[in-house]
Structures are given as structure tokens and as C-alpha cells.
A and B are shown apart, each in its own frame.
Chain A
């Protein structure tokens, strides 16, 4: 599903932050991406999200060389990828419900068709009574849950999450991880960037460890 072939990344004329990345991620697999702060986890997630182009090497996704895709084809491919940002990136002028429903709206679905599902998911992540609130009125944990709900609502083929449980209590953290596992069981490839040891211990899955810009798969 995802194949990196000798990929490197540098910002502008700076040094390579990521280098010699060669790995394959099978469809339906579950990975934790870990490593110390500043190791390049977020940059690798951005490469996986196709929002950055590698300065060297090739990335193949869904059987296609992403370097050869047009802008429209890249955007179309992104519809198959869900992303949870570390900084949430919710739109402040939309309600929680509208934020979560955004991927479905972008796909052209009507509100009447997706309203029940969005409400159900919001209730499941504990935001049932906050669906009409705007993000500035949500706590950090609520924002994070809304961001996760937005990433999974369209049942993406690949789910990327950058520290998805950083602002939630252990109970909800476990529930969210089980949501990711549940999505994974339905065929979604899940990659979670985290440095929380408890998560890594609870879920014995392959770990992608970034260190000094290079990747080791354990």
C-alpha cells in the first residue's frame, strides 16, 4: 500500500531531516511511529499525507508513484487518508458537528445523509452534547476528540495520527486506541506517531522508530 524507496527530506537548503527511508507498509497493518522529540515524526507523517514532496527518492501509494501525480490526483488520493493533527486544526467558525462532517461534505455528500453517522460518532467520542459548540469553547481534550472524529468519519484507507492521545485522560485514550484498532480491523492502515510508552505497551504492534533522521522497524 505504501512504499518508501530511499526517501530523504530537507526544508529549503537546510540539512536532511529524514534520510535513507526505505520501507513498505502493508494494507491493513497497524504501526506506531515513535522516537524522541524533533526526530522528524511529524515530517514523516506529512510525507505520508502527501503534503510534502521528498527531496530525494520515491513514494509509492496505492500502487502509484506519487511524484508523477497531478495536483488534482494528489488531492483525490488524500481523500483516502485521514489525518489527526497534533494542533487539531479545527475551523473555529464551524461547529464541532460541521468540523467532523467536513470530509464527507468535501466528498459531495448531503447533510441529511451523513447527519446520523456524524452524531453517532460524536456521541461515541463523548462529544454528543458538544456537537453544536464551536472549537474555541472546547477544552483541549474535546478538540482532540473532534479532530480524531473528523479523521475517521469517512473511513479512510490510511489513518495518520500525530500524538492523538496527548490531551485526553487514560480512559478515553484507551477508547480512542480501540477505535483506531476497530478501524484497522475493517481494513484501514493505521500509523500513530506517539512517544507515550503506555500506548506502546498496551498495543504490541510493529514500531517504526525514528532516530537521527533514519528509520528502524522493530
Chain B
């Protein structure tokens, strides 16, 4: 029937037919979803997706924090090297320290060079030897802290070579520690990504089962749609819209929960934890702050989960419809 053409032929002159009144103008409303909205399966799936999104965001946030902290640690450590001068019999420690300092200052890319006092060197050993010990009886090496003004210009090999003229003086660029740090952070990031993938796979499986359950419980609707000529694509589209809605709502709830979690934990670690615990947390996670880019990444999880839910349900529905055809 063409649009706007009256359905009923008002010219029918059969006297037995009661003439209907002309209808009042139809109020055009928003078209209702063909798939029912309020089902128990739908609410359960929404809760499940919210939990999965929350876990995904927490994992992703953890990965971002570790990655950011590792970069910060590496960059901090990379801007400093240490010259160690061991006490050697017959050698004047103060003289060797001064000579080493001069050699370091002559190297391009080196900024401030500072000889650490005996007390400072002793304090570095406190975690292992305890406080209050008289270290004057021990022959402990002395340290020179060398800050780099330009790490790219700095030539560690040249400094190491020049220090060879001073007995007992060696250069520590912390490279072994940095490698370990990079390996550790890389492992944590990889683990996080794997956990994230597992969560996504679990989400897909949950959506597949939920979709099949929904299809089975809405079989009458599917049959009626088939009888009036709806294509499998149309039916799949209707279910996809429903599941996209569920995915986005569940994802938004889970994502909002995760963002709130990071904001609350960040605030607590910054303001309420005892300074000792706070500094330990800071050592691992910096300021426990994801930053705007990290938060944006978490927010992006929501459309990804929503899209994944919609796509999974569409494919599942198509498969279901093919099976019942």
C-alpha cells in the first residue's frame, strides 16, 4: 500500500457494512523495540557486563599505572650515574674523591657532581645494617652522585675510561637495575593484557549464552517475525540493538565504577594514608593517578564492550536463525 493512500475503500456501497468514523489524527510515537526490554536475562546480563567492564578497567588501569611508573622510574634513574670509590690501602680517599669529581665534571652532558658525605653513605646502608652503628671502623666505599644535564650527550664509556686512572674508582650506570625494572614492568603489562583478553573472552561467552537464552525465550517473536516476512538480518538487527543497549548500559556502569575506584584510591593514597605507607605506594604506582589519558582509555572500554556485545549477539542470532530455519 502506498504511503498516504487510505486503506479502506469508503466507496463500498454494501448496506450491511457499518461505516466507521474517520479516525482522529494519529499521534506518532517513538517506535517500540520488537525485542522486550525488561527481561530477567537482560538485567542479569547487564550486571554481568558491568562487572566484566569494571574488572577490565581495573586491569587496564593497573597496566597503565605500572607502565607510567616504570617510565618515570627509568627516566629518573637514567638522569643520574654514581661513581664508587673503594678504600684502598696507600691511597688517599679524599684526594681520589676530588680527582674523580673533576674527571666527571669534564665530561660533556654532566650537570651537578656531588661527593656524598660519610654520613650519607652510611645512611644508605641502614636498611641492611640497622641504625645507630658506628661505621667508622668499616671500610665502606664512598659515593659521588653525578647528575646528567643531557643524558643523550653523556658518554658513560669515556667517563669509565677516564676513571680507570684512579685506583678503586668505578662507574655505576644502574643499567642492570634498569633492565630488571623494564623486564618486571614488561611482564606486568603483558600479564595485564592477558587478563584483559581473558575477561573479554569470558564476556563474549556470557553474551553468547545470554543471547541464546533470550532467543529461546523469545521464540514466539522470532516465529511471528518470520511469518510476516522479516529477514534474518532484520531480526538479528533487532536483537543487536537490544544487546548494544544492554552492553552500553552495563559497560557505562562498570566503567563509571572503575573511574570512581581510581579517583577514591588516588585521593586516599595522597591524603589519608600514613606517610610511610603512602611513600611505599608512591614508589610502586607513582601518585596512583591515571591522568587524563589513562581515564580516557578506561572510558574507551565502555564503547568497546558495548560494540563487542552487539556484534557477538548479532553473530549468535544469525547462527541461531540459520539453525532453526
Contacts and interface: CB of A to CB of B under 8 A. Distances in A.
Binding partners A and B: yes
Interface of A: 49, 51, 71-72, 75-81, 83, 85, 89, 91, 93-95, 98, 102-103, 105-107, 109, 111-124, 126, 128, 150, 153-155, 171, 174-175, 178, 182, 186
B124 interface: no
Contacts of B7: 117, 120-121, 124, 153, 155
Contacts of B322: 71
A71 B12 contact: no
A78 B232 CA distance: 13
Interface string B213-239: 000000011011111111110100000
A67 to B, nearest CB: 14
A79 B107 CA distance: 86
25 contacts: A49-B227, A51-B226, A75-B229, A76-B231, A91-B34, A93-B32, A94-B32, A98-B31, A102-B225, A102-B228, A103-B229, A106-B225, A106-B234, A115-B26, A117-B1, A117-B4, A117-B5, A117-B7, A118-B26, A119-B24, A128-B21, A150-B228, A153-B7, A175-B17, A178-B14
B6 interface: yes
A75 B220 CA distance: 16
B1 A154 contact: yes
Contact of B26 (A102, A107, A119, A126): A119
Q: Sort chain B's interface into a size bin.
A: 35 or more
B23 interface: yes
A95 B32 CA distance: 9
Contact of A79 (B14, B229, B325): B229
A119 B23 contact: yes
B242 to A, nearest CB: 12
Contacts of A103: 228-229
B28 interface: yes
Contacts of A124: 7-8, 20
B21 A171 contact: no
B223 A112 contact: no
A207 to B, nearest CB: 22
A182 B17 CA distance: 11
